[in-house]
Amino acid sequence: MSAQRKNAITVVKAETRQRLAELDEPDGLDEALLNNYENGAGAIEGAQFARISAATSIGRGAHAASAGADRTLSRMSALSVAPKWFMRDYLATKEIILSSWFNLLLICVPLGWASAFLGWGPISTFTLNFLSLIPLALILGDITEDLAVRFGDVVGGLINATFGNVVEIMVSLFALFKNLFTVVAASLLGSILSNLLLVLGCSFFLGGLFNSVQTFNAVSNRACSSLLMLACIGISIPSAASMILRNANSPTPDPDADPLDPEVHERWILEVSRGTAIILLVCYMCYLAFQLKTHSYLFKGDDDDAVPMLTLGTSIGLLTVITAVVAICSEFLTDSIKDVSKQTHLSEAFIGLIILPIAGNACEHLTACIVAMRNKMDLSMGVAVGSSIQIALFAIPFNVVVGWATGHPFSLDFTPFAALVLVVCVVNANFVTADATSHWLLGVQLIALYCLVSVAYFYQ
């Protein structure tokens, strides 16, 4: 999650934060409890009783209103005597859970686990756990952003960097530990393409429907575009080298070895990939310093006075629980990929490149489109492009390093076609955003390119 994604979610959640901030006003908690009661979800007691009776007496007798209030008091009195911090966390958690219709998919979490334990079949297990990751990604985005608001730009940026793409990282790590290297490469590459083409394209299209021509910051766009191009080159070099070594009698580090020996090639590509991964991680650290420190003014949001919705303890607790749930769902999801591929005749590359990124990018997609329709294209660009940079400069090399440390030889040796697709899509995205303006037709072009890639992988 980039700093601009944090700012974008802050804009989307501005009304919610305002309502929760009113709890700190005199009588603010009483007003919140009264509203909660009138919505059928809370209770009031003591001095608020008369106000409840008046609010509920329309079309009824006063005696009936009092009886109804008494019943509510007996059922929900714990809320009215709870500490203010508890009531604030209760209302904030309720706002987070009810903030999107996608969160109805939370029902798939227990169903997905039941499918895995009771043997309902790989397709059911994959589908239910895949659907579970969509609301979990949305909730994780809200909680991570809330912690970032609390701790400020630098620490908050590091929190965003760690948890901003936790769904994609979890899925790729579990696939890595199962030696599903094709799924690892495809899911991370697919996340980049999904953000650069689908998320950005939908943002341009929907924003262009409400605004004729939209503009965004050219300086930050050039910096992000050059970083994406650097990551693209870094990822493509091992793939290109591998292709050359397989088709030519090239010299190898060991002059006595057969240059066409597959083991020699694999070791050489692995060493190049690990060196490249370290360089990309260093570049990512530099990007964080650029974004959070030296040029932070380029990424500032419109609302720097935002206040956290949740208390610190509740935020950390929810973050821990949701991350653990994501890990379990990711485990069940990756366990079923091979069987799903066999039964549906969909390649592992298509599942990883096209299907899996939908769950991880749900938060980016929703947030980017909302702020684009509000004509805040700097934030929308930051969400889509910033997330792509995090995957390219952090998630991919992180998987290489973790595989190195755990004995799983994952390299940057993507297929030649995958490397070509990445280069074409990054070059196209840089070309489309070069003049720092957008309209709906550019969005159509980006979405069309994503569909072309999807069709190519479907029939691959």
Q: What is the pLDDT of residues 13-30, one digit of tens each?
A: 555 555 555 555 555 555
Cβ 353 vs Cβ 171: under 8 Å: no
CATH of the domain at 71: 1.20.1420.30
Sorted by sequence, the CB contacts under 8 Å of residue 96 that are 6+ apart come out as 139, 142, 143, 309
Under 8 Å between Cβ of 188 and 400: no
Distance CA 384, CA 129 (A): 24
Tell me if 436 sits within 8 A of 221, measured CB to CB.
Answer: yes
Q: What angle do CA 92, 101, 324 make, to 5 degrees?
A: 60
Find the range with the poorest average confidence among 154-163, 170-179, 284-293, 435-444.
Answer: 154-163
Calpha distance 195→352 (Å, rounded): 14
Give the count of domains, the chain: 1
Residue 127, amino acid: T
- Residue 279's pLDDT is 94
- Which residues form the domain of 232? 3-458
Cα–Cα distance list, 165 to 170, 190, 405 (Å): 9, 13, 21
pLDDT tens, residue by residue, 360-403: 777 777 878 888 888 888 888 888 888 888 899 999 999 999 99
Q: Which candidate, 268, 217, 224, 263, places its Cα nearest to that of 242?
A: 268
For residue 9, give the nearest of 150, 194, 180, 148 by alpha carbon.
148
pLDDT tens string 427-455: 998 899 888 888 999 999 999 999 999 99
Indicate the pTM of the whole model.
Answer: 0.76
Q: Cα dist. 81→46, 71, 156, 227 in Å?
A: 10, 16, 33, 53
Instruction: Return the closest-CA partner of residue 16 out of 92, 69, 79, 71.
Output: 92
Residue 61, by phi and psi: left (phi above 0), alpha (psi -120 to 50) or beta? beta
Instruction: Please say if the pLDDT value at position 78 is more than 60.
Output: no
DSSP annotation string for 203-238: HHHHHHHHSSSEE--HHHHHHHHHHHHHHHHHHHHH
Find out whether 117 and 284 touch, Cβ atoms under 8 Å.
no
Helix-, strand-, coil-residue percentages of the chain, each rounded to 5: 80, 0, 20
Q: Give helix 416-432 / helix 218-247 axis angle, nearest 10°.
A: 160
Which stretch of DSSP H or E encloses residue 438? strand 437-438
Segment 334-353, tens digit of pLDDT: 889 989 989 988 888 899 88
**pLDDT digit string (tens) for 85-112?**
677 778 888 888 887 788 898 999 999 9
d(CA 351, CA 426): 21
